[in-house]
Amino acid sequence: MQASYYKINRGGDITYHGPGQLVGYPILDLDHFFPDIHKYLRFLEEVFIKVMSDYGLKGERSPGETGVWLDVGSPNARKICALGVRASRWVTMHGWAFNVNTDLNYFNYIVPCGIADKEVTSLAKELGREVDIAEVEAKAKRYFQEVFSVELIASESLT
Protein backbone atom coordinates (compact mmCIF):
# COMPACT_ATOMS: atom_id res chain seq x y z
CA MET A 1 0.00 0.00 0.00
CA GLN A 2 1.22 3.45 -0.84
CA ALA A 3 -0.07 6.70 0.54
CA SER A 4 1.24 10.23 0.92
CA TYR A 5 0.96 12.43 3.98
CA TYR A 6 -0.04 16.09 3.67
CA LYS A 7 -0.15 18.42 6.65
CA ILE A 8 -3.03 20.89 6.34
CA ASN A 9 -4.65 23.44 8.61
CA ARG A 10 -8.15 22.20 9.33
CA GLY A 11 -10.18 20.88 12.23
CA GLY A 12 -9.79 17.28 13.29
CA ASP A 13 -6.82 14.97 13.35
CA ILE A 14 -5.30 12.71 10.71
CA THR A 15 -7.60 11.05 8.21
CA TYR A 16 -7.43 9.29 4.87
CA HIS A 17 -8.74 10.45 1.50
CA GLY A 18 -8.70 8.00 -1.37
CA PRO A 19 -10.60 6.03 -3.99
CA GLY A 20 -14.06 4.89 -2.99
CA GLN A 21 -14.77 7.89 -0.80
CA LEU A 22 -17.17 10.71 -1.45
CA VAL A 23 -15.13 13.75 -0.45
CA GLY A 24 -16.66 17.22 -0.38
CA TYR A 25 -15.14 20.54 0.59
CA PRO A 26 -18.00 23.08 0.49
CA ILE A 27 -17.04 26.73 0.43
CA LEU A 28 -19.84 28.62 2.13
CA ASP A 29 -20.02 32.07 3.65
CA LEU A 30 -21.73 31.20 6.93
CA ASP A 31 -22.69 34.86 7.37
CA HIS A 32 -25.38 34.03 4.79
CA PHE A 33 -26.56 31.00 6.81
CA PHE A 34 -25.56 31.18 10.47
CA PRO A 35 -22.24 32.18 12.04
CA ASP A 36 -21.93 28.97 14.08
CA ILE A 37 -19.30 26.36 13.18
CA HIS A 38 -20.83 23.73 15.50
CA LYS A 39 -24.21 24.12 13.83
CA TYR A 40 -22.48 23.84 10.45
CA LEU A 41 -20.91 20.53 11.51
CA ARG A 42 -24.27 19.20 12.76
CA PHE A 43 -25.83 20.15 9.40
CA LEU A 44 -23.10 18.27 7.51
CA GLU A 45 -23.65 15.25 9.75
CA GLU A 46 -27.37 15.43 9.05
CA VAL A 47 -26.74 15.24 5.29
CA PHE A 48 -25.02 11.86 5.69
CA ILE A 49 -27.41 10.56 8.31
CA LYS A 50 -30.11 11.06 5.68
CA VAL A 51 -28.01 9.40 2.95
CA MET A 52 -27.45 6.38 5.19
CA SER A 53 -31.15 6.17 5.95
CA ASP A 54 -31.81 5.70 2.22
CA TYR A 55 -29.72 2.52 2.49
CA GLY A 56 -31.52 1.27 5.60
CA LEU A 57 -28.70 2.23 7.97
CA LYS A 58 -29.03 4.28 11.14
CA GLY A 59 -26.35 6.95 11.08
CA GLU A 60 -25.83 8.69 14.39
CA ARG A 61 -23.86 11.40 16.13
CA SER A 62 -21.49 10.33 18.88
CA PRO A 63 -21.33 12.78 21.79
CA GLY A 64 -18.01 14.61 21.77
CA GLU A 65 -16.91 13.02 18.46
CA THR A 66 -17.60 14.82 15.20
CA GLY A 67 -18.73 12.75 12.21
CA VAL A 68 -21.31 10.10 11.46
CA TRP A 69 -21.29 6.76 13.23
CA LEU A 70 -23.08 3.45 13.50
CA ASP A 71 -23.95 1.67 16.77
CA VAL A 72 -23.01 4.62 18.98
CA GLY A 73 -22.57 3.67 22.62
CA SER A 74 -21.83 0.03 21.86
CA PRO A 75 -18.47 -1.76 21.76
CA ASN A 76 -19.07 -2.08 17.99
CA ALA A 77 -19.32 1.70 17.34
CA ARG A 78 -17.71 2.61 14.02
CA LYS A 79 -17.22 5.78 12.02
CA ILE A 80 -18.38 6.02 8.42
CA CYS A 81 -18.06 9.75 7.72
CA ALA A 82 -15.23 11.99 8.91
CA LEU A 83 -15.59 15.76 9.10
CA GLY A 84 -12.76 18.24 9.35
CA VAL A 85 -13.52 21.87 8.68
CA ARG A 86 -12.00 25.26 9.10
CA ALA A 87 -13.51 28.70 8.68
CA SER A 88 -11.89 32.05 8.13
CA ARG A 89 -14.15 35.08 8.51
CA TRP A 90 -17.02 32.57 8.47
CA VAL A 91 -16.04 31.19 5.05
CA THR A 92 -15.75 27.42 5.29
CA MET A 93 -12.93 25.26 4.00
CA HIS A 94 -12.36 21.52 3.99
CA GLY A 95 -15.30 19.23 4.69
CA TRP A 96 -16.11 15.51 4.74
CA ALA A 97 -14.96 12.08 3.65
CA PHE A 98 -17.82 9.57 3.45
CA ASN A 99 -16.59 6.00 3.07
CA VAL A 100 -18.57 4.40 0.26
CA ASN A 101 -16.43 1.68 -1.36
CA THR A 102 -13.24 2.62 0.48
CA ASP A 103 -10.34 0.20 1.00
CA LEU A 104 -10.43 0.32 4.79
CA ASN A 105 -6.94 -1.20 5.11
CA TYR A 106 -5.46 2.29 4.77
CA PHE A 107 -6.95 3.15 8.16
CA ASN A 108 -4.76 0.45 9.75
CA TYR A 109 -1.75 2.74 9.30
CA ILE A 110 -3.17 5.77 11.10
CA VAL A 111 -5.26 6.58 14.15
CA PRO A 112 -8.23 8.02 12.23
CA CYS A 113 -9.38 11.35 13.62
CA GLY A 114 -7.26 10.63 16.71
CA ILE A 115 -9.77 8.01 17.90
CA ALA A 116 -7.90 4.80 18.72
CA ASP A 117 -10.64 2.74 20.32
CA LYS A 118 -13.20 2.65 17.49
CA GLU A 119 -13.31 1.13 14.03
CA VAL A 120 -13.89 2.75 10.66
CA THR A 121 -16.40 1.31 8.21
CA SER A 122 -17.84 1.92 4.76
CA LEU A 123 -21.23 1.78 3.11
CA ALA A 124 -20.07 -1.22 1.07
CA LYS A 125 -18.92 -3.11 4.17
CA GLU A 126 -22.17 -2.41 6.00
CA LEU A 127 -24.32 -3.43 3.03
CA GLY A 128 -22.15 -6.35 1.95
CA ARG A 129 -21.92 -5.05 -1.61
CA GLU A 130 -20.29 -2.34 -3.69
CA VAL A 131 -22.37 0.81 -4.00
CA ASP A 132 -22.70 3.11 -7.01
CA ILE A 133 -20.79 6.19 -5.84
CA ALA A 134 -22.59 8.42 -8.37
CA GLU A 135 -25.87 7.41 -6.72
CA VAL A 136 -24.47 8.30 -3.28
CA GLU A 137 -23.20 11.61 -4.65
CA ALA A 138 -26.67 12.44 -6.03
CA LYS A 139 -28.26 11.67 -2.66
CA ALA A 140 -25.66 13.78 -0.82
CA LYS A 141 -26.31 16.72 -3.15
CA ARG A 142 -30.07 16.41 -2.68
CA TYR A 143 -29.81 16.27 1.11
CA PHE A 144 -27.22 19.06 1.21
CA GLN A 145 -29.70 21.28 -0.63
CA GLU A 146 -32.50 20.21 1.72
CA VAL A 147 -30.56 20.61 4.99
CA PHE A 148 -28.95 23.93 4.04
CA SER A 149 -32.00 25.26 2.16
CA VAL A 150 -29.93 26.05 -0.92
CA GLU A 151 -29.98 25.16 -4.58
CA LEU A 152 -26.76 23.84 -6.09
CA ILE A 153 -26.69 25.38 -9.53
CA ALA A 154 -23.32 24.21 -10.81
CA SER A 155 -21.25 21.25 -9.75
CA GLU A 156 -18.68 18.94 -11.20
CA SER A 157 -18.18 15.37 -10.15
CA LEU A 158 -14.63 14.38 -9.40
CA THR A 159 -15.47 10.71 -9.15
Hey, which residues are catalytic here? 113
Note whether residue 1 is domain-resident.
no
Please provide the size of the chain in residues. Answer: 159
Torsion sign over Cα 57, 123, 139, 83: positive
Name residue 52's amino acid.
M
- What CA–CA distances, in Å, run from 30 to 39, 74, 82, 90, 152? 10, 35, 20, 5, 16
Q: Each residue of 93-145: pLDDT tens digit?
A: 888 999 999 987 766 655 455 565 668 899 999 999 999 999 999 999 999 99
In a domain, 117, yes or no: yes
Q: What confidence category does residue 65 fall into, taking pLDDT thresholds of 50, 70 and 90?
A: confident
- Look at residue 155 and tell me if it is in a domain: no
The pLDDT score that the predictor gives to residue 67 is: 92
State residue 9's pLDDT score: 59
Q: State which H helix or E strand residue 115 sits in.
A: none
Domains: count for the chain: 1
End-to-end CA separation in angstroms for the chain = 21
Q: Which helix (H) or strand (E) holds 139?
A: helix 133-148
Can you give the CATH number for the domain in which 89 is found? 3.30.930.10
In a domain, 3, yes or no: no
pLDDT in tens, 10-23: 555 666 677 899 99
**Which structural domain, as residue segments, surrounds residue 125?**
21-148
